[in-house]
Amino acid sequence: MNKRVLLIIGGGIAAYKSLFLIRVLARRGIASRVILTKGGSEFVTALSAGGLSGEKVFTDLFDLTDEAEMGHIELSRSADLVAVAPATADILAKAAHGIANDLATTTLQATDKRVLFAPSMNVRMWESAATQRNVKTLKADGQFFVGPDEGDMACGEFGFGRMAEPEQIANAIEKILKGDTTIDGLRGPKPLKGKRALVTAGPTREPIDPVRYLSNHSSGKQGYAIAAALGRLGADVTLVSGPVAIDAPACANLVKVETTQEMLTACESALPSDIFVSVAAVADWRPEGRSDKKIKKAKGGISSLALTENPDILATLSTAKNRPELVIGFAAETNDVLDHARAKLSKKGCDWIVANDVSGDVMGGDHNSLIIVTDKGEETFPRLTKQDAARRLAGKISEHFT
């Protein structure tokens, strides 16, 4: 990767880790140009930072020689990304409020590049109302964060506040430079702000009598992860879920249902929506006429259980008058995955089908191998955790709307 980062080293004990960061980045083909704040220079020297980066280190806003060589505005734009590590409570506060009284904060104000903050401070300072307010402001402005991590701190306390490790910061930098804004630990811009998303998840249950039902092994994990990923990108998410044993993401409005009919009704009431992702493993049939009383055990068993076809929620919403702009179905298949998925794309009238090979440990498991099938072709995701697969799908959904 042939890129350049402007690294602002703030005044914190973690500043020494930023020297390692310069080396880690260099190994990945990312050059660093360093601004060392006054506080930062109490912890590491310009000589070390310059030696490692192989470039002049900038320290003072009012240095006439520096300004003659490269003005601070030019400096702020000369990189592909600005990283602040360690980002102290002071830098976060100034950046959040537009205070520009030294070279580092002036550069943060002047830059037109993405900014990544790697906070580092005492746990109480990190948890203070003021810092949390400033972080929220910066995130709402579209800035990125990596860390802080939880652990033992230089001050002897334990908690959140430890700066992320250089490898972790370098990973975040690389991902942002590649355009991935959906990474864990980072909060990027909210590309789906103002969009409504409806997600179904989990199984449906079709009662046979008051104690028995027909259902399937769906855990709801993939649908819940997709709801969370869309919520993180700013969508207003309604999650219509069958019975599952996992907690709903805080960012989604949860509607709990049991039967397919209830799921359909809940989905129809959630319209209009811009996005519909139908992840639920909907029971295709329901017992014809539910018994009000528990069916008693008969000698020799029951010779037959009559089943009626359930409504197809995906097909119904695909053809609804107020059809969501982007309708995405899932195709759970055990064989001929792509052929079945392509057939479902047209049969169900959706825009994308996410083909899902459920012949292995997918149902109930933590990983998934997804193929996105559209009328333009296919995109195969590698085997990923359900969370990562969800983030990737949500990223693709947000691309559709930009």
Judged by the rule CB under 6 A, the positions of this chain that interact with ligand CTP are 200, 260, 278, 280, 282, 284, 310, 312-314, 329-332, 344, 348
**Is 17 or 348 the residue whose CB approaches ligand CTP more closely?**
348
Residue 102 identity = D
CA dihedral (166, 190, 398, 228) positive or negative? positive
Other Cβ atoms within 10 Å of 109 Cβ, number: 15
Query: Is 350 in the active site?
Result: no
Largest CA distance in the chain: 98
Structure tokens that stand for 270 in this block:
């959630």
CA dihedral (203, 205, 211, 212) positive or negative? negative
Structure tokens that stand for 28 in this block:
């990945």
**Is 348 or 386 the residue whose CB approaches ligand CTP more closely?**
348
Structure tokens that stand for 384 in this block:
């990923």
Instruction: Please state the closest distance from residue 390 (CB atom) to ligand CTP, in A.
Output: 15
Instruction: Please state the closest distance from residue 292 (CB atom) to ligand CTP, in A.
Output: 25
Structure tokens that stand for 217 in this block:
């092994």
Instruction: Please state the closest distance from residue 350 (CB atom) to ligand CTP, in A.
Output: 8
Of the candidates 302, 304, 307, which has an alpha carbon nearest to the alpha carbon of residue 290? 307
**Is 213 or 330 the residue whose CB approaches ligand CTP more closely?**
330
**Is 75 or 255 the residue whose CB approaches ligand CTP more closely?**
255
**Is 115 or 394 the residue whose CB approaches ligand CTP more closely?**
394
Determine which one of 155, 251, 267, 350 is catalytic: 155
Rounded CA-CA distance 308/10 in Å is: 67
Instruction: Please state the closest distance from residue 124 (CB atom) to ligand CTP, in A.
Output: 47
Rounded CA-CA distance 240/253 in Å is: 8
Instruction: Please state the closest distance from residue 270 (CB atom) to ligand CTP, in A.
Output: 14
Catalytic residue IDs: 155
